[in-house]
Structure 1
Amino acid sequence: MSKTSSKTAKGTPAGKRARQIQTRQRQQAQAAARSVREARDGSSRRPVWIILGVVVVVLAVTVLYLIYQNSPSQQNATAGGSGYQHVAGQPGAGTPAPAFTLPSSSGGEVSLADYRGKSVLLYFQEGLMCQPCWDQITDLERNQPGLTAAGVDAVVSITSDPVNQIAQKMTDMKLSTPTLSDPDLDVIRAYDAHKYGMMGESRAGHSFILVGPDGIIRWRADYGGAPDYTMYLPTQKMLADLTAERKP
């Protein structure tokens, strides 16, 4: 074999290794430069993202705090004698009950004035889609002796559904309690009873208001608000709150 051939055979691997080393060195240099750029860019952006993140967290906490503070459960909330969380909205005990006249499921119209001289328990409820609300009326009718013993002469329910649909529901469930239709929420809003339900302010919640023989509110309990959204409670439990909290 010639000297030239020997040099070529020996030189080729060495040249290849040199090129490989140079390639690795170049790649390492490029990676190092890229890391420097990323670190520099990241350090310039990081304070902005940190600041934005802190602002978002602060705003979220503030909003949640305001919602919590203004929820019905924070407005003079009590568990009362029933153990069921409720509040007393406005108009409350000691104030005149707003007058009303509404179509009734039993036919014709019913006015608050019709119950002058009697103690009438107004039950505001969410309506047709709230089966627990109708179960509540069923339980009220089953416990008529307890209501009478507590000084309640009559019960009237008020919701926002059309009167013909309410009448059909009452017939289907074999209920007799006068249930009044307030589709425009005029009466429901007059009693501020639209703030205590699961459907926001588009419907009444689950509120009981006892109006005395003189038209003055003697007791009020709004059970339907946050956080429990109670849509049903046993009548005897409700009467425990009425007995403990009613004003003379």
Structure 2
Amino acid sequence: MAVSIGELAPDFALEASNGETIKLSDFRGKNIVLYFYPKDMTPGCTTQACDFRDKHSHFADLDAVILGVSPDPLARHEKFIEKYDLPFILLADEENKAAEAYDVWKLKKTFGKEYMGIERSTFIIDKAGKLVKEWRKVKVKGHVEEALEYIRENLS
């Protein structure tokens, strides 16, 4: 079941890098950048996380929180945050429940090998909890600026 623009974003509860169990609905009243990525410490995911890190204060100025979601366990998230000084929360979706709710858990193919994994995607959720923008099959270069510009132009 795919999530649709204009509808309430599917809620979920996941273990977070801050030691809490976080629900998406905990952030009502703020704009949310919910981004799904395949794996901590890989080149594309590291670039994307560092781009979000470098623009973090700009998102905060627009009353937007950044939440990164991957299937990695909390221990790996903690190493990723520490190594790259990430100032936002990472969520551990080890059972892919959030990924399935957002229809980003997909059959992928690399070098002829098929496997299930995260399709890099970003969702913008407004202060009322509605999905207002989505990017699927995200290309990392320039994406964070595009997300920031969308919020600046439409939600500030």
TM-score range relative to shorter protein? 0.7 to 0.9
CA distance in 2, matches of 1:233, 1:197: 21
SS at match of 1:121: strand
Q: Return the letter of the residue paired with 1:126.
A: P
1:220 corresponding residue in structure 2: 134
Counterparts of 1:125-204 in structure 2, within 5 Å, are: 125-128=37-40, 130-148=42-60, 151=62, 153-195=64-106, 202-204=116-118
1:236 and 2:148 matched: no
1:97 corresponding residue in structure 2: 9
Aligned 8 A contact 2:71 2:94 in 1: yes
Q: Which has the higher contact order (CA 8 A, sep 6+)?
A: 2
Give the Å deviation of 1:221.
0.8
Aligned 8 A contact 2:67 2:91 in 1: yes
Give the Å deviation of 1:114.
1.1
CA distance in 2, matches of 1:92, 1:246: 18
Q: Which one has the bigger helix percentage? A: 1
Structure 2: gaps of 5 or more residues: none
Q: Return the letter of the residue paired with 2:72.
A: D
1:106 and 2:18 matched: yes
CA distance in 2, matches of 1:92, 1:218: 9
CA change 1:202–1:155 in 2 (3 A) is: same
Q: Which has the larger radius of gyration?
A: 1
Give the Å deviation of 1:128.
2.2
What's the TM-score once normalised by structure 1's chain length? 0.54
SS at match of 1:209: strand
Q: 1:42-81 CA distances to partner (integer Å, 9 max, x unpaired)?
A: xxxxxxxxxxxxxxxxxxxxxxxxxxxxxxxxxxxxxxxx
What's the TM-score once normalised by structure 2's chain length? 0.82
Q: Return the letter of the residue paired with 1:233.
A: K
CA distance in 2, matches of 1:154, 1:201: 31
Aligned 8 A contact 1:102 1:180 in 2: yes
CA change 1:244–1:169 in 2 (3 A) is: closer
Matched residues, number: 151
SS at match of 1:208: strand
Give the Å deviation of 1:95.
1.1
Q: Return the letter of the residue paired with 1:188.
A: A
Aligned 8 A contact 2:41 2:80 in 1: no
Give the Å deviation of 1:100.
0.7
Q: 1:65-103 CA distances to partner (integer Å, 9 max, x unpaired)?
A: xxxxxxxxxxxxxxxxxxxxxxxx931310111111101
1:210 corresponding residue in structure 2: 124
SS at match of 1:171: helix
Give the Å deviation of 1:203.
2.1
